[in-house]
């Protein structure tokens, strides 16, 4: 097999037959399809999505004292992980939608988390944008345009993130922000190398998953710290299982001196 990212998954098929039938996804990655199992097309790319699911569940469990926006964004991260696992396991277009649509929803939700200060206008605009994008996505089956849109949304939050970083006085929280940016850069480099050179034995798309899972978790956690600090909640960073940072509050946000949204 020629190693490359394929826009026709049939060109990248391994020797094993799939229990899921003929691939229908609009794109395939470099890992050899069904080389080890008829159930999982890309085992490394599938398993690496636990980097979204597990931290996302931890974030949801610890977000009950925060605004509901943080529970929602952590839930979307879990959905991204589950959808991406289904996509890489089956190479079906329906599963691909289960990966790509939550990615856009998550990026739009993250834009809301970072920029909203309590009004409803931004939330309404982003909901409309999410609905329009979903309709276009299902109809047009975009690949490059989807990737450009996702990248643009990811970059759009950096100015406000920079401001939050400058206003933050907690060294641990500032370190989380640095890790958020660093993991995003490393993940992007892995993704670009995978697309450019397609090393079959070096699973760079799985590396992308691992670093982007860390990127979104560090970013949301820092965002939660910055938001609750802005609301006067006196947040602090604690560590779940000694490895995952979480934002801890003495009282729920609704009991804080400033009004939450």
- What pLDDT, on a 0 to 100 scale, did the predictor assign at position 1? 32
Residue ranges in the chain assigned as alpha helix (H): 43-47, 50-62, 68-90, 93-115, 121-140, 144-156, 158-167, 171-197, 204-230
Binding residue per annotation — 45? no
Phi then psi for residue 6, to 5 deg, are -105, 140
- What pLDDT, on a 0 to 100 scale, did the predictor assign at position 257? 52
Binding residue per annotation — 33? yes
Write the DSSP symbol of residue 147: H
Binding residue per annotation — 209? yes
Q: What is the CA radius of gyration of the chain?
A: 19
Distance, in Å, from the CA atom of 211 to the CA atom of 196, rounded to the nearest integer, reads 19
Q: Give, in order, the Cα–Cα distances in Å from 109 to each of 13, 32, 165.
A: 35, 34, 20
Q: What is the DSSP string of 15-71?
A: SSPPTT-S---S-B-SSPTTSS-SS-S-HHHHHTTHHHHHHHHHHHHH-TTS-HHHH
Nearest to 107 by CA among 155, 145, 64, 67: 155
- What pLDDT, on a 0 to 100 scale, did the predictor assign at position 118? 75
Both tokens of residue 26?
């609009």
Pick the CATH number of 44-255 from 2.40.10, 1.20.1070, 3.10.450, 1.20.950: 1.20.1070
Segment-wise mean pLDDT, segments of 10 residues, the chain, 261 residues: 50 65 92 92 98 99 95 98 98 97 98 89 96 96 95 97 97 98 98 92 96 99 96 95 95 63 50
Task: Spell out the residues 6+ positions from residue 68 whose beta carbon is closer than 8 angstroms to its own.
Answer: none
Both tokens of residue 170?
């907690």
Distance, in Å, from the CA atom of 78 to the CA atom of 57, rounded to the nearest integer, reads 7
pTM (two decimals): 0.91
Task: Spell out the residues 6+ positions from residue 46 whose beta carbon is closer than 8 angstroms to its own.
Answer: 40, 85, 88, 89
- What pLDDT, on a 0 to 100 scale, did the predictor assign at position 16? 54
CA-based torsion, 248, 76, 187, 128: positive or negative: negative
Nearest 10 degrees: Cα torsion 90, 92, 96, 99: -30
Binding residue per annotation — 28? yes
Binding residue per annotation — 137? no
The residue ranges of every structural domain in the chain are 44-255
Q: Give, in order, the Cα–Cα distances in Å from 133 to each of 97, 127, 142, 150.
A: 12, 10, 11, 11
3-state secondary structure of 247: strand
Binding residue per annotation — 136? no
Task: Spell out the residues 6+ positions from residue 169 whose beta carbon is closer than 8 angstroms to its own.
Answer: none
- What pLDDT, on a 0 to 100 scale, did the predictor assign at position 199? 86
């Amino acid at each position: 097999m020629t190693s490359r990212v394929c826009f026709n998954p049939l060109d990248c098929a391994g020797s094993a037959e799939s229990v899921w039938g003929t691939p229908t996804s609009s794109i395939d990655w470099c890992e050899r399809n069904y080389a080890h199992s008829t159930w999982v097309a890309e085992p490394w790319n599938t398993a690496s999505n636990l980097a979204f699911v597990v931290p996302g569940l931890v974030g949801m469990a610890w977000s009950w004292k925060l605004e509901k926006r943080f529970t929602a964004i952590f839930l979307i991260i879990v959905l991204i992980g589950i959808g991406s696992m289904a996509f890489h396991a089956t190479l079906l277009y329906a599963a691909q939608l289960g990966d790509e649509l939550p990615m856009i929803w998550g990026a739009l939700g993250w834009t809301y988390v970072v920029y909203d200060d309590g009004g409803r206008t931004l939330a309404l605009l982003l909901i409309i944008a999410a609905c329009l994008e979903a309709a276009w996505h299902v109809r047009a089956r975009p690949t490059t345009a989807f990737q450009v849109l996702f990248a643009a949304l990811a970059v759009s939050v950096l100015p406000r993130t920079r401001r939050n970083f400058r206003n933050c006085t907690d060294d641990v929280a500032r370190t989380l922000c640095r890790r958020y940016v660093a993991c995003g850069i490393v993940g992007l480099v892995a993704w670009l190398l995978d697309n450019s050179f397609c090393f079959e034995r070096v699973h760079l798309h799985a590396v992308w998953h691992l670093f982007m899972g860390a990127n979104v978790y560090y970013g949301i956690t820092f965002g939660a710290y910055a938001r609750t600090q802005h609301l006067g909640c006196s947040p602090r960073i604690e560590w779940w299982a000694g490895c995952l940072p979480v934002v801890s509050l003495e009282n729920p946000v609704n009991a804080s001196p400033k009004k939450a949204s």
